[in-house]
């Protein structure tokens, strides 16, 4: 990568706080490196990162993809890389430029089921845009699909989020095993989020990766969230911010 870009991909099962951690990462990077070019990508069709970062989205990657497909005169299917070449300028138009970072959303395809086409497009977008930014934070969709389809094929840091549940730890263990075969990453670690009973910590098993942080339940974050406030309005010493900072320090990003 031309800029020695650090790409931080966040993954895990649904409902464990991936978006909270991703948004905290973005805030911490903007505070630590005010001169850096930082891109936040909401790659989860649930579309929560924009709210967490206080960003208003008017157009998404899937909107671009569909409009370009519709404009193809002969109606023939186009490869993702062809679409990318045609749409590069529109990707930058779609980006929401905040004072401290840029933001891009994958969007939510209208038809139910497979996100194959937009995921293929997202993969090429990540490869393209990584050359233009110093830090990229990707809030991935729940589960293993984007890892399985190599959407995040080249990342520098893979951060897997779980809650203190057997299912949560099993999901990130599975993601790690698949990522070891399909993803080129430099560092990988886990965050155990929403721990409400510290006596359970010794029983939490995360095999094959370092635990970067254990984050207790965060009342300040819950209050922030219900009021629709962004992560930038969260107290700097809140558990989510403290845990996210600890994780980035252990990964040598901060």
- Cα(5)–Cα(133) distance, integer angstroms: 6
Sheet holding 157-162, edge to edge: 96-97, 102-105, 38-43, 135-140, 6-12, 157-162, 187-195, 210-216
- Percent of the chain at pLDDT above 70? 81
CB atoms within 10 A of CB 33: 15
Q: 59-73: per-residue pLDDT in tens? A: 887 787 677 666 655
Worst-scoring range by mean pLDDT, 40-44, 91-95, 158-162?
Answer: 91-95
Give percent above pLDDT 90 in the chain.
48
pTM, two decimals, is 0.87
Contact 125, 84 (CB under 8 A): yes
Helix (H/G/I), strand (E/B), else coil: 225: helix
Are 235 and 241 in contact, with CB atoms under 8 Å apart?
A: yes
Mean pLDDT of 77-84: 59
Instruction: Please determine, for residue 109, whether its predicted confidence score (pLDDT) is greater than 60.
Output: no
DSSP 8-state code for residue 199: G
Q: Which of the 8 DSSP states describes residue 180?
A: H
Q: What is the pLDDT of residue 1?
A: 41
Of the pLDDT bands very low, low, confident and very high (cuts 50, 70, 90), residue 91 is: confident
Angle of helix 116-129 relative to helix 80-94, nearest 10 degrees? 70
- Which of the pair, 136 or 203, is modelled with greater confidence? 136
- Between the alpha carbon of residue 51 and those of residues 23, 129, 226, the distances in Å are 9, 22, 11
Domains for the chain: give ranges and CATH numbers: 6-250 (3.40.50.300)
In the predicted model, is pLDDT for residue 165 greater than 70?
yes
């Amino acid at each position: 990568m031309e800029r020695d870009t650090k790409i931080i991909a966040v993954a895990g099962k649904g409902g464990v706080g991936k978006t909270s951690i991703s948004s905290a990462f973005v805030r911490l990077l903007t505070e630590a490196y005010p001169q850096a070019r930082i891109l936040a990508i909401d790659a989860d069709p649930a579309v929560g990162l924009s709210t967490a970062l206080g960003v208003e989205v008017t157009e998404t990657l899937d909107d671009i993809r569909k409009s370009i497909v519709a404009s193809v005169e002969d109606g023939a299917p186009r490869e993702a890389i062809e679409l990318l070449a045609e749409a590069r300028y529109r990707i930058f138009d779609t980006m929401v430029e905040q004072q401290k970072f840029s933001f891009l959303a994958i969007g939510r395809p209208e038809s139910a089921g497979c996100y194959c086409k937009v995921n293929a497009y997202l993969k090429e977008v990540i490869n393209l845009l990584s050359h233009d930014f110093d830090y990229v934070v990707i809030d991935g969709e729940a589960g293993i699909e984007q890892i399985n389809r190599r959407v995040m094929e080249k990342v520098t840091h893979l951060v897997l989020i779980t809650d203190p549940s057997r299912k949560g730890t099993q999901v990130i263990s599975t993601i790690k095993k698949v990522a070891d075969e399909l993803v080129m990453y430099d560092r990988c670690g886990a965050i155990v989020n929403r721990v409400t009973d510290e006596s359970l910590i010794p029983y939490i098993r995360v095999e094959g990766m370092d635990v970067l942080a254990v984050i207790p339940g965060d009342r300040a974050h819950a209050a922030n969230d219900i009021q629709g406030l962004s992560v930038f309005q969260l107290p700097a010493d809140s558990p989510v911010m403290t845990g996210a900072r600890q994780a980035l320090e252990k990964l040598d990003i901060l």
